Amino acid sequence: MYYIVWRVGRATIQIAMTQSKTNPRLSRETWLAKALDVLAEKPEHLRIDELAERLGVSKGSFYWHFENRSDFIWAMAEFWRDRSTVNIAEALARIRSSAEDRLYTLMTQLLEERAGQYDLALRAWARHEPSILPVIREVDEIRHSRVEGLFLEMGFDSAEARMRTRVFVTFHALEEAMTAQLSRKKALAELELRHAFFIRR
């Protein structure tokens, strides 16, 4: 609580004001990050009014960033695509090292950034929101092309590179659910073993 004080003639007027604890306009990214959390937790709670309540803002904050629900759904899918795939692929492209080392770096990034934590939720949600299927297909294409390129660079023939890529991409889409309870030390130890497995001839 705070007070506004001013003088009118000889009188002093003091008014008590309650400071709002809500943020009237959160960032677009905050809305999208919270929406992904809710989607992974309970998809049925992914409603504008409920998200606004969880974020402590009015629905007006939502409409400041998004035209409507369709715009919001598409933005969520793109936000997931960029965080889970595009940003990681771009960072990997800037590294100058062997294909084996870049594969290890990729695996480490996927683990550290929990890149697969929303994969299952988004893919399940696409059954009810088919408008996001193009984004999911784009994610799959980026992941497969970048990983397959690494295996080809290591010297595997196209058929084996393609099969290793499928196993790699599928595992890492499921990794969050499979290793969520592991300590970081144990997760990194398993990562070492998986890396050795993937590059072994």
Beta strands in the chain (DSSP E): 2-8, 11-17
Contact residues for 184 (Cβ-Cβ < 8 A; gap 6+): none
Same domain membership, residue 84 and residue 181: yes
Q: What is the pLDDT of residues 2-25, one digit of tens each?
A: 344 444 444 444 444 443 344 446
Choose one of 5, 40, 66: the last residue of a domain: 66
Contacts 24+ apart (CB under 8 A), 163-168: 164/198, 167/198, 168/198
Same domain membership, residue 141 and residue 87: yes
Q: Which residues pair with 12 in a beta bridge?
A: 7
Give the per-residue pLDDT at 181. 64
Same domain membership, residue 145 and residue 95: yes
Q: SS3 helix, strand, coil % of the chain, rounded to 5?
A: 70, 5, 25
Give the per-residue pLDDT at 34. 94
Per the prediction, the chain carries an average pLDDT of 85
| Amino acid occupying residue 25 | R
Choose one of 14, 41, 66: the last residue of a domain: 66
Looking at the structure of the chain, the number of domains it has is 2
Determine, yes or no, domain membership for 134: yes
Same domain membership, residue 101 and residue 53: no
Same domain membership, residue 122 and residue 95: yes
Give the per-residue pLDDT at 105. 94
Determine, yes or no, domain membership for 10: no
Q: Are residues 199 and 100 in contact, defined by beta-carbon separation less than 8 angstroms?
A: yes
Structure tokens at 172: 């890492």
Same domain membership, residue 89 and residue 55: no
Determine, yes or no, domain membership for 101: yes
Same domain membership, residue 121 and residue 197: yes
Q: Stretch 144-162: mean pLDDT, rounded? A: 97
Distance from first CA to last CA of the chain, Å, rounded? Answer: 68
155: left (phi over 0), alpha (psi -120 to 50) or beta: left
The answer on pLDDT for 56 being more than 50 is yes
Same domain membership, residue 127 and residue 44: no
Q: Are residues 169 and 150 in contact, defined by beta-carbon separation less than 8 angstroms?
A: no
Q: Which domain holds residue 95?
A: 77-201
Same domain membership, residue 182 and residue 113: yes
Determine, yes or no, domain membership for 162: yes
Q: What is the pLDDT of residues 63-119, one digit of tens each?
A: 989 999 999 999 999 999 999 999 999 999 999 999 999 999 999 999 888 888 999
**Distance in angstroms (rounded) separating the CA atoms of residues 81 and 83:** 6
Give the per-residue pLDDT at 100. 96
Question: 6-10, 135-139, 188-192 — which is least confidently predicted?
Answer: 6-10
The pTM assigned to this predicted structure is 0.81
Contact residues for 2 (Cβ-Cβ < 8 A; gap 6+): 16, 17, 19
Same domain membership, residue 57 and residue 85: no
Q: What percent of the chain has pLDDT over 70?
A: 85
Q: Stretch 55-68: mean pLDDT, rounded? A: 89
Determine, yes or no, domain membership for 52: yes
Same domain membership, residue 62 and residue 160: no
Determine, yes or no, domain membership for 9: no
Determine, yes or no, domain membership for 72: no
Q: If DSSP states are collapsed to H, E and C, what string results for 136-157?
A: HHHHHHHHHHHHHHHHHHHCCC
**Distance in angstroms (rounded) separating the CA atoms of residues 168 and 11:** 76
Same domain membership, residue 83 and residue 32: no
Determine, yes or no, domain membership for 1: no
Choose one of 13, 35, 66: the last residue of a domain: 66
